[in-house]
């Protein structure tokens, strides 16, 4: 192949992937704006909710989490909290036992499975919690979150107003001081917009187990986590995939700041990378390949920009001009997307660190995607997880 033909081929490839990213982001912004905001209102008819939390070594956050759940603007006799201890080695259980609340149940996963269990510990913990629950509406969340005070009231109102089997709610990171933590907060703000846009176009791809509500009878109807119980993560996405296959019009994103869940970003690069690697394992196991293809093209665009910038001294002017163009397109559309999202969630101050966050996003997306190809396992809370 002649050099001119090779340059044309590479240039076409770079532009096609870059334009996909740009158009995909425009579509997300359009559908985000199209998705109606849910207006909460008090309702006398209150569902009974069973909140399931799988916890492992959450001594630094579990108290605030449980306190935020117990202080909901919702009757205490209309919900229960079932905490399943996943072989914690710190003071998590001792802290939980300080809460003498009748609607708080503490279970130990060690009473049901051995420590060398060959499967997804979190899925098993949630499954056990559901089996012990009293409510027909299940809500999963995590031990390192804080729920807004109208969280349950808003979910209840949404169920009353919509024909639904599964609801995914917004999860945001608390904005902190370091550039890495601010990047995660801004990145997740954008992720909520992309997540919601999928539901608006009736092609949901994402959800978050830290704020996920579903009907218990439907959980059993689709077989729970059977078929993917061996995969370490993905309790949220696999369940979404199963339920939307049967009830495509009854899965929803709850677009309102009254249903927010807040969690903490990772404070160092190693923890952040391991977290994203663990999250990434579930997408490759989904039956619906649309998610894999979409995320793959997003990764390719970031990789092309990162790798291209490193090669600028060694490539011709045509190629490096295209690298700069697709990098500029990504920066522009990312800013517009994040402007829309931060405006809604009232955290536009995060945009002050946009340029640094944009560099982080492009680089880390490239790096973690590459690592995901070659990594065999990751470390999570003193446990090695095979990918």
Helical residues (DSSP H) of 162-252, grouped into ranges: 179-200, 216-221, 235-246
Angle, alpha carbons 325-330-274 (nearest 5°): 130
Identify the pLDDT of residue 316: 81
Q: What is the pLDDT of residue 4?
A: 67
pLDDT tens-digit map of 326-356: 999 999 999 999 999 999 999 999 999 999 9
CA pair distance 360, 279, nearest whole angstrom = 18
In the prediction, which pLDDT does 41 show? 78
Burial of 331 (0-12, 13-18, 19+ CB in 10 A): middle
Specify the pLDDT at position 107: 97
- How much is the pLDDT for 289? 74
Mean pLDDT per 10-residue segment, the chain (387 residues): 74 94 97 95 87 97 97 96 96 96 96 89 96 97 96 96 96 87 95 97 93 98 90 86 96 96 93 86 71 88 92 80 95 98 95 95 93 76 72
Instruction: Report the C-alpha gap between 231 and 209 in whole angstroms.
Output: 15
Tell me what pLDDT residue 3 has: 67
Residue 281: what pLDDT?
67
Helix or strand run (H / E) with residue 171:
strand 171-173
- Say what the pLDDT of residue 382 is: 72
For residue 387, the model assigns a pLDDT of: 62
pTM of the entire predicted model: 0.94
């Amino acid at each position: 192949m002649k050099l001119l033909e090779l340059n044309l081929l590479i240039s076409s490839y770079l532009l096609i992937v870059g334009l996909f990213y740009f158009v995909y982001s425009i579509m997300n912004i359009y559908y985000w704006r199209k998705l109606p905001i849910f207006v909460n209102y008090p309702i006398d008819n209150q569902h009974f909710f069973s909140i399931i939390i799988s916890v492992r070594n959450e001594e630094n956050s579990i108290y605030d989490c449980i306190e935020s759940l117990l202080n909901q603007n919702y009757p205490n006799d209309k919900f229960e909290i079932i905490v399943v201890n996943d072989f914690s080695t710190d003071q998590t259980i001792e802290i939980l036992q300080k809460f003498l609340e009748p609607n708080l149940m503490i279970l130990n996963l060690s009473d049901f499975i051995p420590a060398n269990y060959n499967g997804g510990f979190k899925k098993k913990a949630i499954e056990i919690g559901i089996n012990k629950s009293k409510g027909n509406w299940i809500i999963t969340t995590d031990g390192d979150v804080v729920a807004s005070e109208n969280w349950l009231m808003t979910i209840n109102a949404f169920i009353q107003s919509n024909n639904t089997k599964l609801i995914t709610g917004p999860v945001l990171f608390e904005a902190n001081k370091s550039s890495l933590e601010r990047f995660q907060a801004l990145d997740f703000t954008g992720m909520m917009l992309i997540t919601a846009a999928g539901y608006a176009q009736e092609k949901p791809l994402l959800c978050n187990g830290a704020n996920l509500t579903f009907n218990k009878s439907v959980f059993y109807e689709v077989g729970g986590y059977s078929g993917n119980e061996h995969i370490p993560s993905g309790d949220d996405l696999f369940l979404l995939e199963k339920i939307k296959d049967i009830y495509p019009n009854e899965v929803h994103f709850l677009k309102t700041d009254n249903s927010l869940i807040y969690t903490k970003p990772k404070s160092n690069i190693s923890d952040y990378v391991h977290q994203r690697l663990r999250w990434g394992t579930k997408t490759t196991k989904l039956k619906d390949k649309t998610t894999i293809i979409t995320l793959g093209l997003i990764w390719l665009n970031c990789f092309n920009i990162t790798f291209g910038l490193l090669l600028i001294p060694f490539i011709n002017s045509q190629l490096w001009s295209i690298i700069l163009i697709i990098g500029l397109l990504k920066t522009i559309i990312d800013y517009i997307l994040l402007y829309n999202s931060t405006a809604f969630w009232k955290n536009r101050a995060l945009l002050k660190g946009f340029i640094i966050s944009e560099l982080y996003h492009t680089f880390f997306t490239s790096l973690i995607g590459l690592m995901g190809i070659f990594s065999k396992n990751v470390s999570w809370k003193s446990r090695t997880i095979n990918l």
